[in-house]
Chains A and B, each alone.
Chain A
Amino acid sequence: MTAELSSPDPASAAPPAVLRRRSSGGGGLGRYILVRFLLIIPTVFILVTLVFLLMRTTGDPITAALGGKLTGPQLQERIHEAGYDRPLIVQYLEYLGNIVTGNFGSTLSDNRPVTQVLLTYGGATLELAFYALIVAFIVGIPLGMVAAYFRDRAPDAFLRIFAILCYATPVFFAGLLLKLVFAVWLQVLPVAGRASTGAELQMQFLQSKTGIYLIDALQTGNPEVIGDVLSHAVLPGVALGLLTAGVFLRLVRTNLIGTLGTDYVDSARSRGVTEFRLVRKHAYRPALIPIITVIGLQIALLLGGAVLTETTFEWKGLGFQLAHYLQARDFVAVQGIVALLAVIVAVTNFIVDIIAALIDPRVRY
């Protein structure tokens, strides 16, 4: 997740600045990291408890999944076997204990450990989120700068409406439209899936399979496979990325406008620095800091969006799988995946907070 943070400014002189700031407030940073880290525990605990209690108030998962298929006594037997007839508090403590040891339960419908589901499908979701973030950066940041530069003029108006449209369009509708135009009418990109069967077969025989198709394709060294994987990634990446791009655009614009009004920019302006150079060089970097912090919250949004995007494009990731288990009414699997995602969100937020603190000392309170 951190790799793409630096990608939008290649000519960055940030590292020395970061080091300088860090040395001046080192003790504070250590404490800050520790406090943030300890805050993960209550967050995860609350979410896991919430999900557990909510899911269990509706009754036991076995009746929900198999209710229509088994007779009463058979159901009772299954419920007893799985321990769902014990007091709630016993089940809850057992559940907590399991989670601490990394056991998120097994799915009911196909009896696989939830952690294994994550390992199999997590890579695909990660890959999709990565593509989406790249699209968001490529589209959102430059356009945000353009909007700030042309503040209150036609390009700004156009871009602001574009940003609102990005937000107003549900990812699945954006996906459907993209599919309709580029895959069905123009037929330049594939309709769905992560790779064509041929490419998937080639990657299947790799020694070090990662499940992240881009890496696997690069490993085969076959340009056709790489091209195939990339062409499958375009539409889902754009559909999900535009959602975040709108947020980035608006953030960059607002922050740039704010920064352009500060004293140091005014003094640069009075020295005769052109407005374009002011945007590009002087005001640009301070305006990016809020973006890094917002990425933390965007992760949550991206995960939610990924569920919808994956369903639209039959992208076989965690979200696709989650939708599948929802259809099968396999609530143990749903509970497991949701709890696991809670952990992932909490940890990502922690990492993003630390990065923000490294870049901007004011964050460490």
Chain B
Amino acid sequence: MTATTAQTRPKRSLVSRIPLFEQVRSSIGLQRGMLIAGVVITGLFVITAVFAPLLAPYGFAQLRSDGTPFGAQEAPNAEHLLGTTVGGYDVLSRVIWGAQTAILTIVVSVILSIFAGIFLGLVSGYIGGWLDRVLVVVCDAIYAFPSLLLAIVMSIVISGGRSDLLGGILAASISITVVFIPQYFRVIRAETVRIKSEAYVESAKVIGTRAPRIVFRHVLRNATRSLPLLLTLNSSEALLTLAGLGFLGFGIEPTAAAEWGYDLNKSLSDVTSGIWWTSLFPGLAIVLAVLGITLLGESLNDLADPRLRGRRAALDTGAPTADNGAEPHGAGATGERIVADDASTADDEERVS
């Protein structure tokens, strides 16, 4: 295995450097199907978000066209393909515009939590001592807590509960960030602690390299291998948290942006009277978006994990055998201090030897 990597790696062609290309090539059967489905759905999601102004027939806060009001709770018809909501908005337009809000929130929250989490993880893992212990205990405490409740508290702090587009997206993103920092922190810190004792870090120290340079040049570059997986998995959770906040009425005002969770909240009473279009489509949008991102993340995770990779996929993916234990559920099985972890490290060691 090491031999093939050494031979193929330097010669990687331009095509194979396209993200995901290697992964698709090395996957087989179901895994390939899941990966491709994930890429396609996520791609559609992103395209919808980017071209929302062109795709949506109306604005997200538009109540009337040519002076005539849309009317509330209209069933799907030629003018409103997916009907209108109780507030008189066009469902299709709000579903399309909602993709934009969702993507913005994901991007902002993931970027924020990556920076904060990586920084804290590096510092904590490299410096160690009491700072490390305090940070670990704090992050563990936050990690164990229901993320939605924490996000609620954060959104009260940031926006007092409701706000405009930018404020709302920032509030939701920062709320989600606080929930995610412990996850990035754990992964990066564990890697840093491991890398700190590697020979090349020792050598760097011996020749007098200063700590910041060691941390950012030697440790950081080697510690980020499992980040892409965590990133996709967290994106889907960010989306669900945003929708959850919106559903509880802590999202973004309908006039500021379209948000799927908010629309679902407003459709609660519609359902009882048999009006299905106001809840079905925003809900399906959430499910599809999360499904796409999760399929992508899970396939990447499986491909990177030799225990889960398809039996016949012997091809070297070029990807490191990252076993960060990242399950699609952030609150699920990430980095457990238990059996599963022991078993996997033992597994990896066997493989290396």
A positions within 8 Å CB-CB of B = 42-43, 46-47, 50-51, 54-55, 57-58, 64, 152, 156-157, 160-161, 164-165, 167-170, 172-173, 176-177, 179-180, 183-185, 191-192, 247, 250-251, 254-255, 257-258, 289-290, 293-294, 297-298, 300-301, 303-305, 307-308, 311-312, 322-323, 326-327, 329, 331, 334-335, 338, 341-342, 345-346, 349, 356, 360, 362-363, 365
Contact = CB atoms under 8 A, between A and B. Distances in A.
A362 B338 CA distance: 8
B257 interface: no
Nearest to A248: B332
A307 B248 contact: yes
A168 B294 contact: yes
B178 to A, nearest CB: 9
Contact of A293 (B142, B146, B153, B336): B336
29 contacts: A46-B138, A58-B157, A58-B160, A167-B290, A168-B286, A168-B287, A170-B286, A172-B264, A176-B267, A180-B271, A185-B274, A192-B272, A251-B332, A254-B308, A258-B307, A290-B336, A297-B144, A304-B147, A308-B244, A308-B247, A308-B248, A311-B247, A322-B149, A323-B248, A326-B156, A331-B156, A335-B153, A345-B146, A360-B338
Contact of B264 (A54, A173, A289, A301): A173
Given A173-B264, A176-B264, A297-B144, A157 B339 contact: no
B140 interface: yes
Given A170-B283, A184-B271, A297-B144, 20 more contacts: A58-B160, A164-B294, A167-B236, A167-B329, A168-B236, A168-B287, A168-B291, A168-B294, A170-B243, A170-B287, A177-B280, A180-B276, A192-B272, A247-B329, A258-B343, A290-B340, A301-B332, A329-B161, A360-B339, A362-B342
Contacts of B274: 180, 184-185
Interface of B: 29-30, 33-34, 137-138, 140-142, 144-149, 152-154, 156-157, 160-161, 236, 240, 243-244, 247-250, 261, 264-265, 267-268, 271-274, 276, 279-280, 283, 286-287, 290-291, 294-295, 298, 307-308, 310-311, 327-329, 331-333, 336-340, 342-343
A319 B178 CA distance: 21
B36 to A, nearest CB: 13
A345 B144 contact: yes
Contact of B333 (A51, A290, A308): A290
A184 B272 contact: yes
B333 A165 contact: no
Contact of A307 (B140, B149, B156): B149
Contacts of B141: 42-43, 46-47, 50
A173 B248 contact: no
B271 A342 contact: no
B153 A55 contact: yes
Nearest to B139: A46
B150 to A, nearest CB: 8
B329 A303 contact: no
B332 A255 contact: no
Contact of B148 (A54, A308, A335): A308
Contact of B328 (A167, A185, A342, A356): A167
A325 B272 CA distance: 24
A139 to B, nearest CB: 16
A57 B157 contact: yes
B279 A173 contact: yes
A172 B274 CA distance: 17
A294 B333 contact: yes
Given A170-B244, A179-B271, A297 B283 contact: no
Contacts of A363: 338-339
Given A54-B153, A152-B29, A185-B274, A326 B294 contact: no
B145 A300 contact: yes
A156 B30 contact: yes
Contact of B331 (A183, A192, A301, A341): A301
Given A258-B343, A311-B247, A362-B339, A173 B286 contact: yes
